[in-house]
Amino acid sequence: MNIAIQQHYDNLQSGFLKSPRQLLVGGRWVDARSGATFPVYNPANASVIAHVADAGPDDVDLAVKAARHAFEDGPWSRMSPADRAKLLWRLGDAIEAHAEELALIETLDNGKPIKVALALDIASSAERFRYYAGWATKMNGELCPPAAHDGGKFHAFTTRQPVGVVGLITPWNFPLLMAVSKLAPALAAGCTTILKPAEQTPLSSLRLGELMQEVGFPDGVVNILTGFGQTGAAIVEHPGVDKISFTGSTDVGRAIVKASTGNMKRVTLELGGKSPVIVFPDADMNVAVEGVARGIFANTGQVCQAGSRLFAHEKVFDQLIEGIAAKAGKLKIGPGIEFDTEMGPVVSQEQLDRVAGYLTAGLEAGAKAVIGGTKMKRDGYFVEPTIFTSSTTDMAVWREEIFGPVLCATSFSDADLDHIAAQANDTEYGLAAYVYTRDLSVAHKIAKKIKAGSIRINGGMVDSNVPFGGFKQSGWGRENGREGAEAFTEIKSVIISL
Ligand code: NAI
Ligand code: MG
């Protein structure tokens, strides 16, 4: 730890992490009505770092009332889009001003390397608020000239209105960034919100709640309820909530769809993936090795769009696997708090057991581990970066989302793009796909054939202005970009008989 981080650490210990963190309801920090709390762990050493309130149905009810009041009668409904934009921009500045502290919280809570938390999670969170500040003033409708009626007699147009009170349920892999990716467009659109961060990683969302108060968000616009799946389920079932935006497992996504039918909530889902990576023989091997390794080992593989199924042409297969294994072997694995750490632990004991279970199942089914294959013998939730070859398409490691640093690789020999695409599409998921080739024609043709929400050719990024989401069981709807904000609106058609 360097001196600045040590100072933030000491401050957190004597302040933010010392007493149990409360719920944010209607602008006030309060205990859960039941008084219940639960512990939060540091994945690097399995120690308890904080306690947070465990919100129950009563707390959900109070938060919904506060959000409803702020939406219908409170200052939020009267605030101009330009003033909402100012608040969002100021929040981006506040995140930047507290970047080191927020990165440290994220590292202690989630385990990720602090330099990654700073450069990616916190920097992107600040930028996302600023990006959506711009959309607050641009939620236009359109003129709809009548098709089968006399345009001289009728004038028709659409407006976009905020959908209302929205429940935002987030996962633990990018705790702050996932919360921000929902809050920013929801607030830009004019909604009021109830945020339920993942039980494994609630701390950065709670600190964000304090910053939102400091920059002047009115009471009730953002309510934060920490808790487990039951808390999320109570939000999903609540008749006073108009929309749910969820990121997490496909199983919970399915449960949310079922539970939201009571009042026909709008639902946006960003779910799991088992994304294919296709390396053609003409690819730049340095680019491919670097990209494939980053695509599966970044964030310890806990990335919804991780490239986890590798299809490499037989001419380059050995070279590619050797290169990726060499990179994996050199990764500096350790506590995220150390500045030279490149791969931290997985988030929890449960996740460690899940990933280790897949590793055992893969080996038992006959997959061969070129590198890795087991959890690490050290404190904390550490697992070895792993590459499986000889894994067949019927194996669980090949078919299911592992959400750990585990790559399954196979080779292909033919040049038939339809056949290659069919293999890549042989999954229930459709979040992302990665293609490495220098042939522009092959790149475009295969991009068209693959059923996934994002296709990344020779590398890629996630960007506020580029829609992100899944085909098939990877989700409903898109986040980011114009679509991300419009997902928090209803379209109203106004027809005037002249
Ligand atoms: P999860 O889907 O159970 O949890 C995500 C969020 O949903 C958490 O905030 C949780 O409290 C909440 N939740 C759980 N049950 C709920 C319910 N019935 N109603 C409403 N909210 C509910 O994910 P979990 O169990 O932590 O991880 C399991 C697997 O899910 C991972 O191994 C990974 O494969 C996948 N996953 C995918 C993510 C993605 O980014 N697409 C993120 C996290 C997990
Ligand atoms: Mg779960």
Q: Residue 1's pLDDT is what?
A: 73
Q: Half-sphere exposure of 340 toward its Cβ, with a 13 Å CA cutoff?
A: 3
Q: Exposed (0-12), middle (13-18) or buried (19+): which is 217, by Cβ within 10 Å?
A: buried
Of the listed ligands, the closest to the CA of 347 is 1
Query: Mind listing the pLDDT tens digit for each residue in 302-322?
Result: 999 999 999 999 999 999 999
Question: Which residue bears the tokens 């793009």?
Answer: 417
Minimal-distance CA residue to ligand 1 atom 8: 198
C-alpha span between 52 and 335 (Å, rounded) = 23
C-alpha span between 227 and 235 (Å, rounded) = 11
Q: How far is the CA of 85 from the centre of ligand 1 (A)?
A: 31
Q: Is the CB of 179 under 6 A from ligand 1?
A: no
Indicate which atom in ligand 1 lies nearest the CA of residue 170. 9
pLDDT tens-place values along the chain, 498 residues long: 788 899 999 999 999 999 999 999 999 999 999 999 999 999 999 999 999 999 999 999 999 999 999 999 988 988 999 999 999 999 999 999 999 999 999 999 999 999 999 999 999 999 999 999 999 999 999 999 999 999 999 999 999 999 999 999 999 999 999 999 999 999 999 999 999 999 999 999 999 999 999 999 999 999 999 999 999 999 999 999 999 999 999 999 999 999 999 999 999 999 999 999 999 999 999 999 999 999 999 999 999 999 999 999 999 999 999 999 999 999 999 999 999 999 999 999 999 999 999 999 999 999 999 999 999 999 999 999 999 999 899 999 999 999 999 999 999 998 899 999 999 999 999 999 999 999 999 999 999 999 999 999 999 899 999 999 999 999 999 999 999 999 999 999 999 999
Query: Mind listing the pLDDT tens digit for each residue in 82-120?
Result: 999 999 999 999 999 999 999 999 999 999 999 999 999
Question: Would you call 206 helix, strand, or coil by DSSP?
Answer: helix
Minimal-distance CA residue to ligand 1 atom 35: 249
Q: Is the CB of 247 under 6 A from ligand 1?
A: yes
Catalytic residues: 270, 304
Q: How far is the CA of 349 from the centre of ligand 1 (A)?
A: 15
